[in-house]
Copies of this chain bind each other. A is one copy, B any other.
């Protein structure tokens, strides 16, 4: 199968660093041309499921604009310009929780939207997490650190308590990795 081709692009909406929307003209694999294909550029991001040596999972309960009420959440945030995904993951874990981890497992990288883009998320499991410093409190949202047992984490997953798509995915990927490989 042939790839889709971008024939031209123009900026429809130039926002701040968080959002740009482009208008693309596209050639489909079968040769058809589509004009006015919106393409959404948002920063790439990381999500980190961090687990301590005594098998506690470092999570937050927090509010976010897209939901009513609260959600459980793994560590996460946007990748800075020029930063590698794993460096962003390590920075976010440290900034948000004050924890550092001894082993970093890449769980996968996935574009968010097949048609519009909307950035790529990179997912990590951080093993051997321990508190080594104080967190930096600079995020907009209220958040409360929770150390969940594996049983808690699995029960939360079953009831959809990680309510945002990349957060649910991060936990599903981490649980699947641990079921296959343990913490080795």
Partner of A142, one of B30, B66, B68, B114: B30
Do B172 and A115 have beta carbons less than 8 Å apart? no
Q: Does A102 contact B (CB under 8 A)?
A: no
Copies of this chain present:
2
* A184 part of interface (Cβ distance < 8 Å): no
Give CA–CA (A143, B114) in the complex, Å. Answer: 14
Other-chain residue from B19, B64, B121, B169 in contact with A172 (beta carbon distance below 8 A): B169
Chain B residues with CB under 8 Å of A117's CB are 65-66
Contact B163 A111 (CB under 8 A): yes
Within 8 A of B (CB), among A95-150: 108-118, 121, 140-142, 144
A86 beta carbon closer than 8 Å to chain B: no
Q: Given A40-B19, A165-B121, decide whether A66 and B28 contact each other with a Cβ distance below 8 A.
A: no
Top-10 shortest CB links A-B: A172-B172, A64-B114, A110-B165, A19-B38, A66-B111, A114-B164, A108-B160, A13-B13, A4-B65, A169-B169
In the complex, given contacts A65-B115, A66-B116, A172-B172, what are 4 additional A-B residue pairs having Cβ atoms less than 8 angstroms apart? A1-B70, A26-B65, A111-B165, A121-B165
